[in-house]
Amino acid sequence: MSAIPTTMRASVLVAPRTIELRDVPVPVPGARQVLVEVTAVGVCGSDTHFYERGAIGDIVAEGPIVLGHETAGRIVAIGDMVDPTLLGEAVAVEPQFPCRRCRMCKSGSYHLCTDIRFYGAYPVDGSFAEYVVIDDDFAHPVPSALTPEQIALVEPVSVAVHAARRAGIVPGDRVLITGAGPIGVLIAQVARAFGAREAIVSDPVAHRRSFAVAHGASRALDPAVTDFAELPEHFDVYIDASGNARAVASAIVAVRRGGTVVLVGMGAETIELPVSVIQHRELTLTGTFRYVNTWPLAIDLIARGVVDVEPLVTGRFGLHDVERALRAGQTDPLAIKSMIIPSIGG
């Protein structure tokens, strides 16, 4: 294996809407950590929020930060107490660092760790770079047949798996999903994998509705012409992947008594909800925070072709072009998912 350089290229957010390609030190793996050479990184909506505003919710970029967390790579160096046979393995990176000692970690809900650190969430650098460090057990080996882009998309599939688990989807369920972006489309595919007989997606953008139906959704609705009140108690599960307050408030009326509502999309800090519907139907209303113990299943779903991620990728960019990738959703009406490939020159 070739020698590891001491510096690397990284795309650094230095201010809102300002990214600089810099030479920075290659991180050094500590005990029970591995150094991963990055082969592909998906661009997430949260990366774009950070780029545009310098913050998401209460996470504020108080200094320069490398974004990116949907990461594929290859282990090229290891720290102390790491199995040396991992060298050279292709891996999907689970981009979080729990403390492993708090009550939530000890109970298995490590994503709710009171001291969680996450790629691209200040002050932890993410993976719009040539190398990253991660704890060895969060570098998940993948089948050799998977491409770097498929491996990078294990992360958003994990978001969908966690949402489906929180929703308690079982065979025969009817599922409504608002938002036909990458996460909404993947939730539809995962819902079908969990046995849902219907996975209906609602989105105001025609090409996204068409894309969703071509890639897993049972059918798609246009919220501009659909009155959810005309689908009374039709759905067992409703999952929002849009973050749109109006979508959430209008869609809840279509959930059956005793059904479940899961909020995945990030939007306004507060929204109005039809409380009487939630109370009288005894709906379970919950949210999701990333994922927990999802990587093995997400990898398996992709490897077996049950979830098809490759059509999501509509643009490929190098580290020198991260800003264009982050803006693709606003500048390209047909964009679904942008992918950063560090080996692309520039």
Condensed to tens digits (0 to 9), the pLDDT of residues 233-282 reads: 999 999 999 999 999 999 999 999 999 999 999 887 889 999 999 999 99
pLDDT in tens, 287-312: 999 999 999 999 999 999 999 999 99
Contact by Cβ (8 Å): 308, 215? yes
Is the per-residue pLDDT at 62 higher than 90? no
Q: What is the pLDDT of residues 109-126, one digit of tens each?
A: 999 999 999 999 999 999
Between CA 67 and CA 21 the distance in angstroms is 12
Kindly report the three-state secondary structure assignment for every residue of 157-168. Answer: HHHHHHHHHHHC
Residue 203 shares a structural domain with residue 318: no
Answer yes or no: are the C-beta atoms of 57 and 169 closer than 8 Å. no
pLDDT at 236: 98
Q: What pLDDT does residue 218 have?
A: 97
Return the pLDDT at 61. 85
Per-residue pLDDT of 203-236, as tens digits, reads 999 999 999 999 999 999 999 999 999 998 999 9
One domain for residues 176 and 89 = no
CATH number at residue 318: 3.90.180.10
CB 120 within 8 A of CB 66: yes
Q: Which pLDDT band holds residue 1 (cuts at 50, 70, 90)?
A: low
Do the domain assignments include residue 292?
no
Region 85-111: mean pLDDT is 97
265 shares its domain with 143: no
346 domain-assigned: no
Residue 55: the pLDDT is 83
Domain that holds residue 283: 161-287
What is the pLDDT at residue 125? 97
Same domain membership, residue 146 and residue 190: no
Instruction: Using DSSP, state whether 276 is helix, strand or coil.
Output: helix
* Same domain for 88 and 171: no
Q: What residues have CB less than 8 Å from 275, skipping those under 6 apart?
A: none
Are 67 and 91 within one domain? yes
Q: Verify that 322 and 280 share a domain, yes or no.
A: no
In the beta sheet, which residues pair with residue 38?
A: 73
The number of distinct structural domains making up the chain is 2
Examine the pLDDT at 53 and tell me if it is beyond 90.
no
CATH number at residue 173: 3.40.50.720
- In a domain, residue 297? The reply is no
Contacts of 80 (CB under 8 A, 6+ apart): 30, 31, 32
Question: So what's the pLDDT on residue 346?
Answer: 66
The answer as to whether 206 is a domain residue is yes
What is the distance between the alpha carbons of residues 27 and 130, in angstroms, rounded to a whole number? 10
Is position 140 within any domain? yes
Indicate whether 294 belongs to any domain.
no
The pLDDT score that the predictor gives to residue 200 is 98
Distances (CA, A) of 247 to 94, 173, 214, 228, 311: 30, 21, 22, 10, 26
Are both 49 and 88 inside the same structural domain? yes
Specify whether 51 is located in the same domain as 127.
yes
Average pLDDT in the chain: 95
Residue 342, judged by CB atoms within 10 A of its CB (0-12, 13-18, 19+), counts as buried
Structure tokens belonging to residue 265: 């999309």
Q: How does pLDDT run across 182-208, given as a tens digit for each residue?
A: 999 999 999 999 999 999 999 999 999
Radius of gyration of the chain (CA): 20
C-alpha distances (whole Å) from 161 to each of 12, 108, 246, 297 are 30, 16, 25, 8
141 and 17 in a common domain: yes
* 302 domain residue, yes or no: no
The answer to whether residues 197 and 282 belong to one domain is yes
Residues 233 and 142 in one domain: no
